[in-house]
Amino acid sequence: MSSAIGKGPVRSGLVAPLLLDHVNTDVIIRSRDIPPRASDDFGRALFACWREGTGETFVLDRPEYRGASILLAGANFGCGSSREAAVWALRDAGFDCVVAAGFGAIFRANCVQNGIVPAVLDPAWHSELAALATAGPVEVTVDVERLAVVLPDGRAAPFPLDPLQHLQLATGRTAIDLIDEHTAAIARFVDDDARRRPWAVPTTSEEAQ
Amino acid sequence: MKTRRPRTTRPPRTTRRQSVVEKIWARHVVAELAGGTALVHIDRVLVHDRGGGLTLRKLTDAGRPVARPAAVVATADHVVDTRPGRTGASEVPGGEVLLAELRAGARRHGLRLLDVDDPGQGIVHVISPEQGIALPGLTLVCNDSHTGTVGGIGALAWGVGTTELEQALATGCLLMAPPRPMRVELTGIRPAAVTAKDVALHLAGVLGEDGAAGCTVEFTGPVVTGMSVEERLTLCNLATELSARTAVVAPDDTTIEYVARTPLAPRGELWDAAVAEWTALRSDPDAEYERTATVDCGALQPQVTWGTSPAQVIGVGGRVPAGPERALTYMDLRPGQPLLGLPISGAFIGSCTNARISDLRAAAAVLRGRTVAPDVRAICVPGSGAVRRQAEAEGLDVVFRAAGFSWREAGCSMCFHAGGESFAGQRVVTSTNRNFEHRQGASARSHLASPATVAASAVAGAIADPRVP
């Protein structure tokens, strides 16, 4: 459990624009397409309900966006179900950053847990990148250390990350490793808590009867 | 009643007055890290079959035990069959693997598993408050976005992905940013025929799909204090559809009466200590919120969604608005068209939103002595084994069956299509929480509504107003 996650703090790649708002995780990967084992390939099912039978019309299937590693999304991307498979589908399809106007909270956390950068741009920068990326293939750099999306002309569009997410994405450290630094504090808390809130200690059905 | 002083006291983080959310949060902070992130103690971990077994497998493979097995409850709800006489198998592609991993993982890690043959089995967010697994003032996580449902009893509960679930199982804690409190005050006198589901859908319509994005919603106001606990569970359930991080209703006498009847509630001195703590769990009058909203419920009608998000909703007597083309096309609707009278071929009552006993009673009251229209496939899936047994004790199953509803075993069932049964290609009125494209089956067109509206529509064979006899 101590293996590093993610691809390091600086990632450059082609931007695929999917500029719809409120794209939910059911659409990113349908429930029935989620493979049962963590080692399976989730990428094949990415956006299946929007791609099936559409030839090369869906953005990810258009020749000019092949090989994109940065998805540019709209507002509230990844809302809905908590399925981490939505992030695994993006990961397995080659994406290591999602730049958006906003994210569903669980999806955003799931991105960080899997080393994918969830970058929220303010409306002006988002519109500018959207205009660039829809005009044709464009490469940008997502720099976690600088907390900026660097556009082709060198200008830097800032994005926020909370300190924990920043640390995880910059270092590749897993949350479980970070928590394990506090083992003694946790043990102390659990001990104190059993005295402070004895009613909160879980009861089994046998004890309750 | 004995009270104990905590052995270690922590200075308050700030001097300002606190909301109930901040009070519960502060009780659970194990350590504060740089930048406001906290290591937070998680009192209960709920695990379901869609991904829960794989998470336990990862712990097993890493040689890592579950930190506090007694704090964990696993249940099989997402991929299990709900047809009468089920065996514990799954029709879902890969479902057998998911169930086998859950069963093996629960056994290996010594976790309580509520499998299909257990009287306690049911939808995870229905069983946790019903059995007293979740209690007011506790923190709780589950690998499901609707975990905030149990905020209805005053617990602070978060939906998480499976990696964070693994962290909570392995350490009993999570690293989290502090909650961003948002107060949503519901005012006015709610008309009798307007349910918590109608209130919640209206709220989604008013505030939008990201109207509470990242926030922890505290529901307040006379409409909320007048709600039963089951209604509050429905209300908090749908806060997820506003992209809230979670939602909560501060515990009050209604909550305490509800919890007192649950099988796993603390007893004796422990109960007295718990009630003393729960009674203090209310927001200070001048607590600060990052955002606030006030919504009047005095003139509400029963609500029905017309689009592909819960926020695309109107009163049942209204007309389809000029909404996004994509949603109108998917739903095969035109602006200006009334929803009343729109023919349906499916009706579904179930899910963590609306499958508790009060929901089934409301639907049965509409169905009594009536029958479902020909060619409407109508299904009722109780939220838990306990709900099903209670409904059968009251004869509600007879009412549903006589009306032409299929009467099922507990589970998530056709709230979403995971393979197996679906409403593919059908127009459905449904008591569930998501009308997303293809959610209930390929090209299924889902209209979210209350159980009473679903029942009335099933009888009419078209979207119908439950207030019309």
CB atoms inside a 10 Å sphere around CB B243 = 28
CB A146 within 8 A of CB B16: no
**Minimum distance, in Å, between the CA of residue A117 and any CA atom of chain B:** 16
Asked if B263 is an interface residue toward chain A (Cβ–Cβ < 8 A), one would say: yes
Determine, for residues B434 and A24 on separate chains, whether the beta-carbon distance falls below 8 Å: yes
Asked if B138 is an interface residue toward chain A (Cβ–Cβ < 8 A), one would say: yes
Contacting residues of B for A24, CB less than 8 Å apart: 309, 434, 436
Whether residue A209 has pLDDT greater than 50: no
Q: Which of A176, A190, A208 sits opposite B263 (nearest CB)?
A: A208
Q: What is the pLDDT of residue B357?
A: 98
By CA distance, what is B4's nearest residue in A? Answer: A196
Asked if B77 is an interface residue toward chain A (Cβ–Cβ < 8 A), one would say: no
By CA distance, what is A37's nearest residue in B? Answer: B54
CB A164 within 8 A of CB B35: yes
List Cβ neighbours of B256 (8 Å cut-off, separation of 6 or more).
B136, B275, B278, B279
Q: Which of B68, B171, B274 sits opposite A176 (nearest CB)?
A: B171
Phi first, then psi: give them for residue B32, nearest 5 degrees. Answer: -100, 135
CB B41 within 8 A of CB B173: yes
Determine, for residues B209 and A84 on separate chains, whether the beta-carbon distance falls below 8 Å: no
Q: What is the pLDDT of residue B15?
A: 58
Asked if B48 is an interface residue toward chain A (Cβ–Cβ < 8 A), one would say: no
HSE of B449, CA atoms in CB hemisphere, 13 A: 36
Q: Which tens digits make up the pLDDT trace of B217-260?
A: 999 999 999 999 999 999 999 999 999 999 999 999 999 999 99
Q: Is the domain covering A10-173 a CATH 3.20.19.10 domain?
A: yes
Domain spans in chain B, listed from the N-terminal domain onward = 40-178+253-279, 303-460
Measure Cα distances from B318 to A88, B394, B465 in Å: 41, 35, 11
Q: Which of B170, B267, B417 sits opposite A176 (nearest CB)?
A: B170
**Minimum distance, in Å, between the CA of residue A208 and any CA atom of chain B:** 6
ipTM of the complex: 0.95
Q: What is the pLDDT of residue B5?
A: 44
User: Residues in chain B with pLDDT < 50?
Assistant: 1-9, 11
B341 token code pair? 């009278």
Span between the terminal Cα atoms of chain A, in Å: 39
In chain A, what percentage of residues exceed pLDDT 90?
87
Q: What is the pLDDT of residue B7?
A: 46
Determine, for residues A102 and B8 on separate chains, whether the beta-carbon distance falls below 8 Å: no
Determine, for residues A198 and B418 on separate chains, whether the beta-carbon distance falls below 8 Å: no
Strand B291-296 to B181-187 pairing: parallel
Asked if B273 is an interface residue toward chain A (Cβ–Cβ < 8 A), one would say: yes
Contacting residues of B for A22, CB less than 8 Å apart: 209-210, 309
Q: Which of B98, B243, B442 sits opposite A36 (nearest CB)?
A: B98
Q: Which of A1, A75, A182 sits opposite B64 (nearest CB)?
A: A1
List Cβ neighbours of A1 (8 Å cut-off, separation of 6 or more).
A174, A176, A177, B62, B64, B170
Whether residue A208 has pLDDT greater than 70: no
Domain spans in chain A, listed from the N-terminal domain onward = 10-173
Under the phi-then-psi rule, with left for phi > 0, alpha for psi from -120 to 50, and beta for the rest, what region is B413? left
- B303-460 has which CATH code? 3.30.499.10
Q: What is the pLDDT of residue A200?
A: 97
Nearest one of A62, A127, A80, A154 to B144, comparing CA atoms? A80
CB atoms inside a 10 Å sphere around CB A4 = 13
Asked if B118 is an interface residue toward chain A (Cβ–Cβ < 8 A), one would say: no
In chain A, what percentage of residues exceed pLDDT 70?
95
Beta carbon pairs, A and B, within 8 Å: 199
Q: Which helix (H) or strand (E) holds B447?
A: strand B445-448
Contacting residues of A for B438, CB less than 8 Å apart: 26-27, 30, 49
B186 token code pair? 């519901």
Q: Which of A37, A76, A176 sits opposite B213 (nearest CB)?
A: A76
Give B125-185 as a DSSP string: HHHHHHTTSS-TT-EEEESSGGGGGGGGGT-EEEE--HHHHHHHHHHSEEEEPPP-EEEEE
Whether residue A1 has pLDDT greater than 50: no
For an interface test with B, the pick among A23, A32, A110, A201 (most B C-beta atoms closer than 10 Å) comes out as A32
Asked if B293 is an interface residue toward chain A (Cβ–Cβ < 8 A), one would say: no
The helix/strand/coil state of A183 is helix
Contacting residues of B for A209, CB less than 8 Å apart: 263
Rounded to an integer, what distance in angstroms lies between the CA atom of residue A95 and that of residue A98? 8
DSSP state of B372: P
Decide if B40-178+253-279 and B303-460 have a common fold. Answer: yes
Determine, for residues A163 and B35 on separate chains, whether the beta-carbon distance falls below 8 Å: yes
Q: What is the pLDDT of residue B269?
A: 96
| B40-178+253-279 topology per CATH | Aconitase; domain 3 (3.30.499)
